[in-house]
Amino acid sequence: MSAYERQTLTRRIALGLGAFTVAAAIFATFPASTNAAEEAVVIPAPAIDETAATDTGKAVFAGGCFWGVQGVFQHVKGVRNAVSGYSGGTSETATYEAVSGGNTAHAEAVEITYDPKQVTYGQLLQIFFSVAHNPTQLNFQGPDHGTQYRSEIFTTSAEQAKIAGSYIAQLEKEKLFEEPIVTKVSGMTAFYPAEDYHQDFLTQNPTHPYIVYNDMPKIENLKAVFPSEFSARPALVQKAKG
């Protein structure tokens, strides 16, 4: 790992530590049975969903730091692989060092490879909006600020674009969120996998302060809100490579 990578990871750790320290002081006053995780927004499934009978589907979502988004979808049944990476910019700037500057047009994103016979694109969208991130936060998620942390769906087909756009309209009409949804829907031009040290980060670092405070609650929410879709065994990138 380069000096820059260590520096940026240290910064993210510091953000997590600051929030974690405050939260720990508050939660210490609660009964042991109190759940410290934020509640997910319980939402209905999309009114329309994919119809193509394919063996493999691809979905690309951006919703803040890719550590947590990857971790959520790795625990979804039917997901074969979920890779952290960058989408929205060019290959020349698809590095953590460049993307962290916020001027590359890239978003931290996750490419999900899934079995449509076990989980549909619409179900993945439902999880994305419900527990993976907050779709009402413009160009930030939690402690992470910048356009690289924006909420965006990168579609790989006209059908995906129709499903995603229709679902956002459905959720807005039903006023299920306190603020307007700011998620963008864009056609995907390319996805670039992130550096190896970012892959499977949540699973490999479950006690990391940033992960504990910002991301482990998402896994608990997935288990609680989508019990039939939850997989206790994550689909890890390193296993897929092996």
Domain ranges of the chain: 3-29+52-241
pTM of the model: 0.86
161 burial via Cβ count (<10 Å: 0-12, 13-18, 19+): middle
Active site residue: 15, 59, 65, 72, which one?
Answer: 65
pLDDT reading at 24 higher than 90 = no
Mean pLDDT, the chain, whole residue set: 88
Q: What is the mean pLDDT of residues 153-168?
A: 97
**Residue 47's pLDDT band (cuts 50, 70, 90):** very high
pLDDT tens string 117-128? 999 999 999 999
**Residue 59's pLDDT band (cuts 50, 70, 90):** very high
Domain 3-29+52-241 belongs to what architecture? 2-Layer Sandwich (3.30)
pLDDT reading at 37 higher than 90 = no
Q: Which of 45-59, 122-136, 200-214 has the lowest mean pLDDT?
A: 45-59
**What pLDDT sits at residue 144?**
96
Q: Is 241 among the residues known to form the active site?
A: no
**What pLDDT sits at residue 21?**
41
Cα separation, 133 vs 156, in Å, equals 21
Percentage, residues of the chain above pLDDT 90: 80
